[in-house]
A and B are shown apart, each in its own frame.
Chain A
Amino acid sequence: MSRRLAVENLQRAFGGVQAVRGVSFALDAGEVLALIGPNGAGKTTCFNLLNGQLRPDAGTVRLDGVDIVGLPPRRVWRMGVGRTFQITATFASMTVRENVQMVLLSVHRRLFGLWTPAAAGFRDEAMALLERVGMGAQAERPCGVLAYGDLKRVELAMALAGDPKILLMDEPTAGMAPGERQELMALTSSLVRERGLAVLFTEHDMDVVFGHATRIIVLDRGQLIAEGSPDAVRADPRVQAVYLGGAA
Chain B
Amino acid sequence: MSFYLVQFLSGLATAATLFLVSSGLTIVFGVTRIVNFAHGSFYMLGAYLGWTLVERWGGTPLGFWGAVAAASLAVGLLGALMEVGLLRRLYRSPELFQLLATFGVVLVMQDAASWIWGSEDLLGRRAPGLRGSVDILDQPFPLYDLVLIGLGPLVLGLLWLLFNRTRWGTLVRAATQDRDMASALGVDPARLFTGVLFLGSALAGLGGALQVPREAVNLHMDMAIVVEAFVVVVVGGMGSLTGAFVASLLIGQLQAFGILVFPQITLVLVFLFMAVVLVIRPYGLLGRAEDAPPTAASPGPPLIAAAGMARWVPALLLALLAAVPLVAGDYALIVLTEVVILALLAASLHLLIGLGGLVSFGHAAYFGLGAYGAALLVKHLAAPMPLALAAAPLLAGLGALAAGWFCVRRSGLYFAMLTLAFAQIVWSVTFQWYGFTGGDNGILGVWPPDWAAGKAAYYWLTLALAGGALLLLRRAAFAPFGYTLRAGRDSALRAESVGINVRRHQWLSFALAGSAAGLAGGLYAFAKGSVFPTLMAVPVSVDALVMVLMGGIQTLSGPVVGAALFHLLETEAMSRTDWWRLVLGAVILVLVLAFPKGVAGFVRDLWTRGRES
Contact = CB atoms under 8 A, between A and B. Distances in A.
Contact of B491 (A74, A77, A91, A161): A91
Contacts of B305: 117, 119
A103 B483 CA distance: 11
B302 interface: yes
A89 B489 CA distance: 12
B281 interface: no
A161 to B, nearest CB: 8
Interface in A130-172: 142, 144, 158, 161-162
A83 interface: yes
A58 interface: no
B577 interface: no
Interface residues of B, number: 32
B480 A83 contact: no
Contacts of B489: 93
Contact of A117 (B479, B495, B497): B479
B494 A90 contact: yes
B589 interface: no
Nearest to A141: B302
A113 B480 contact: yes
Contacts of A98: 302, 483
B357 to A, nearest CB: 10
B498 interface: yes
A73 B508 CA distance: 20
Contacts of A144: 299, 301
B499 A74 contact: yes
Contacts of A106: 484, 498-500
Given A113-B481, A142-B302, A158 B490 contact: no
Contacts of B479: 113-118
Contacts of B472: 114
A142 B305 CA distance: 14
Contacts of B508: 112
Nearest to B494: A89
Q: Of residues B302, B494, B497, which shows the largest number of chain A Cβ atoms within 10 Å of its Cβ?
A: B497
B482 interface: yes
A73 B491 CA distance: 14
B501 interface: yes
Interface size grouping (class) on chain A: 35 or more
B496 A118 contact: no
B499 A77 contact: yes
Contacts of B476: 114-115
Contacts of A232: none
Nearest to A81: B497
A91 B486 contact: yes
Contacts of A74: 496-501
A236 to B, nearest CB: 33
Contacts of B457: none
Contacts of A83: 497
Nearest to B490: A91
Interface in A98-137: 98, 101-103, 105-107, 110-119, 121
A105 B484 contact: yes
Contacts, number: 109
Contact of B499 (A89, A90, A107, A119): A107
A119 B475 CA distance: 12
Interface in B487-540: 487, 489-491, 493-501, 505, 508
A90 B487 CA distance: 8
Contacts of A89: 491, 493-494, 497
B513 to A, nearest CB: 13
B92 to A, nearest CB: 16
B478 to A, nearest CB: 5
B301 A112 contact: no
Interface string B284-301: 000000000000000111
Given A72-B496, A77-B497, A162-B498, A93 B480 contact: no
B303 interface: yes
Contacts of B302: 93-95, 98, 142
Contacts of A210: none
A89 to B, nearest CB: 4
A92 interface: yes
A78 interface: yes
Nearest to A107: B499
Most B CB contacts (10 A, CB to CB) among A91, A94, A103, A162 go to A91
A51 interface: yes
A93 B475 contact: no
Contacts of A103: 498-499
B60 to A, nearest CB: 57
A121 B302 CA distance: 17
A114 B481 contact: yes
B370 to A, nearest CB: 20
B515 to A, nearest CB: 13
B480 A105 contact: yes
A154 to B, nearest CB: 11
Given A91-B486, A94-B483, A102-B483, A51 B498 contact: no
B484 A111 contact: yes
Contacts of A77: 497-499
A83 B480 CA distance: 22
Given A89-B497, A91-B490, A106-B499, 10 more contacts: A53-B497, A74-B500, A89-B493, A93-B301, A94-B483, A98-B302, A111-B484, A117-B478, A144-B301, A161-B498
Interface of B: 299-303, 305, 472, 475-476, 478-484, 486-487, 489-491, 493-501, 505, 508
14 contacts: A74-B496, A74-B501, A85-B494, A89-B493, A91-B487, A93-B303, A95-B302, A102-B483, A106-B484, A112-B480, A113-B479, A116-B479, A118-B482, A119-B478
Question: Which 3 A/B pairs are nearest by Cβ-Cβ distance?
Answer: A89-B494, A93-B299, A91-B490
Interface of A: 51, 53, 72-74, 77-78, 83, 85, 89-95, 98, 101-103, 105-107, 110-119, 121, 142, 144, 158, 161-162
